[in-house]
Amino acid sequence: MSTSLLDKIDKTQAQLASQGLLRRRHAISASLPRELHPELSGALSFTLEGKHYLNFSSNDYLGLSRSSQLIDAMCGAAKRYGVGSGSSPLVTGYSEAHLALEQRLCKITGHQAALLFCSGFSANTALMKTLFDSSDTVMADKLMHASVIDGLRDSQAQLKRFLHNDIASAERIMNQRVPTALVTESIFSMDGDIAPLSSLSQLCKQNHVCLIVDDAHGFGVQVPPLVDAKIADIQVVTFGKALGCQGAAILASQQVIDFLVSNAREYIYSTAISPVNACVALAAVDLMDTDRFLVQRLSDNISYFRQQCAQADIKLADSGTAIQPLVLGDVDTTLLVADKLKQLGLWVGAIRPPTVPKGSARLRMTITAMHTRDNIDRLVDGLSTSLA
pLDDT confidence band for 38 (50 / 70 / 90): very low
pLDDT value for 41: 44
pLDDT in tens, 144-183: 999 999 999 999 999 999 999 999 999 999 999 999 999 9
Q: Which of 124, 145, 201, 319 is catalytic?
A: 145
Active site residue 214: yes
Q: Which of 122, 147, 189, 301 is catalytic?
A: 189
pTM score > 0.95 for this model? no
pLDDT in tens, 93-142: 999 999 999 999 999 999 999 999 999 999 999 999 999 999 999 999 99
Active site residue 241: yes
Q: Which of 191, 214, 233, 266 is catalytic?
A: 214
Whether the pLDDT of residue 40 is over 70: the answer is no
Q: Which of 217, 266, 277, 299 is catalytic?
A: 217
Domains of the chain: 28-57+292-387 (3.90.1150.10), 68-290 (3.40.640.10)
Active site residue 217: yes
Distance CA 271, CA 260 (A): 16
Whether the pLDDT of residue 199 is over 80: the answer is yes
Whether the pLDDT of residue 32 is over 50: the answer is no
Q: Which of 31, 59, 253, 384 is catalytic?
A: 59
Q: Which of 98, 111, 129, 241 is catalytic?
A: 241
Active site residue 145: yes
pLDDT value for 23: 79
Q: Which of residues 293 and 261 earns the better pLDDT score?
A: 261
pLDDT confidence band for 21 (50 / 70 / 90): confident
